[in-house]
């Protein structure tokens, strides 16, 4: 256990949205180890998305430290946090945030255009890796040139997963990416995502309000239990 490296370490975190009169998050500690597959659960409004945005360096806490692989990201200037995120973190947004006028393949390759590290992490050509991921995620070759705005929600979700996985980021954070799918499709999507994460030793932090999914994961963190402020 002691040899395990920490992927995400949070200490004494306090976060308050500007103009809100009380803290949303007050968390004394979260430790997530490399390769773990974590299910972060909490009711709507409890601060799950805010916490993911803090971990990804999109937001900065009012107090406390957020270490990603030993680096205190909240002390980095904004441009370095952005660089850190594109190099090390794959983010699957709730609304996917794909680029609608680009093709499936172009969307998946985007992180490798923005980050040399992501490109260099792949042993072979990134285009081949993109195609391999798309195939494994059940997106067949005949649609790779389609614009993503022409796709179903389920297909867009799998493109977002491929985009997050390419270039072997250290961590994938996923913000309720399955909320618009029925239960069976949620579980099958999760299985593919987890298989890919474990193949490349990527730590997965997956957020949902649906406790039924918890059994698929190696560990569950309940936000209401670790947050000393009470919300949601
Ligand atoms: P969850 O993802 O668990 O549903 P969020 O992190 O999205 O929760 O939101 C938690 C609370 O934070 C919301 O109820 C709202 O009060 C506040 N909040 C979220 N986003 C913003 C924002 N952009 N500006 C101000 N307050 C916000
Ligand atoms: Mg949310």
| pLDDT string in tens for the chain (232-residue length) | 557 899 999 999 999 999 999 999 999 999 999 999 999 999 999 999 999 999 999 999 999 999 999 999 999 999 999 999 999 999 999 889 999 999 999 999 999 999 999 999 999 999 999 999 999 888 999 999 999 999 998 899 999 999 999 999 999 999 998 777 778 878 888 988 999 999 989 999 999 988 888 999 999 999 999 999 876 5
Which residues have their alpha-adjacent CB atom under 5 A from ion ligand 2?
48-49
Which pair of tokens denotes residue 150?
A: 């022409």
Read off the pTM.
0.94
Check if the beta carbon of residue 223 is closer than 8 Å to that of residue 41.
Answer: yes
Atom of ligand 1 minimally distant from the CA of 18 = 25
Indicate the class that CATH gives domain 36-48+77-226.
alpha beta
Is the CB–ligand 1 distance for residue 227 below 6 Å?
no
Which protein residue has the closest C-alpha to ligand 1 atom 21?
Answer: 17
Out of 17, 95, 231, give the residue to mutate to test ligand 1, the one with the largest number of ligand atoms within 8 Å of its CB: 17
State the pairing for strand pair 171-175/89-92: parallel
Is the CB–ligand 1 distance for residue 24 below 6 Å?
yes
Crossing angle of helices 153-165 and 126-136, in 10° steps, is 140
């Amino acid at each position: 256990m002691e040899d395990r490296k920490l992927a995400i370490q949070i200490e004494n975190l306090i976060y308050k949205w500007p103009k809100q009169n009380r803290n949303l998050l007050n968390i004394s500690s979260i430790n997530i180890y490399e390769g773990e597959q974590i299910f972060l659960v909490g009711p709507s409004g409890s601060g799950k998305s805010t916490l993911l945005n803090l971990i990804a360096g999109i937001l900065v806490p009012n107090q406390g430290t957020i270490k990603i692989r030993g680096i205190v990201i909240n002390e980095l200037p904004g441009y370095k946090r952005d660089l850190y995120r594109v190099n090390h973190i794959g983010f699957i947004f709730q609304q996917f945030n794909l680029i609608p006028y680009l093709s499936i393949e172009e969307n998946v390759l985007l992180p490798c255009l923005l980050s040399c590290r992501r490109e260099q992490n792949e042993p072979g050509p990134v285009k081949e890796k993109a195609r391999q991921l798309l195939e494994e995620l059940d997106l067949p070759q005949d649609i790779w040139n389609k614009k993503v705005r022409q796709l179903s929600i389920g297909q867009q979700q799998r493109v977002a997963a491929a985009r997050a996985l390419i270039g072997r980021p250290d961590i994938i954070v996923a913000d309720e990416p399955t909320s618009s799918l029925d239960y069976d499709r949620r579980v099958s999507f999760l299985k593919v995502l987890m298989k890919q994460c474990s193949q490349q030793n990527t730590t997965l932090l997956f957020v949902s309000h649906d406790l039924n999914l918890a059994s698929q994961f190696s560990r569950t963190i309940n936000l209401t239990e670790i947050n000393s402020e009470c919300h949601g």
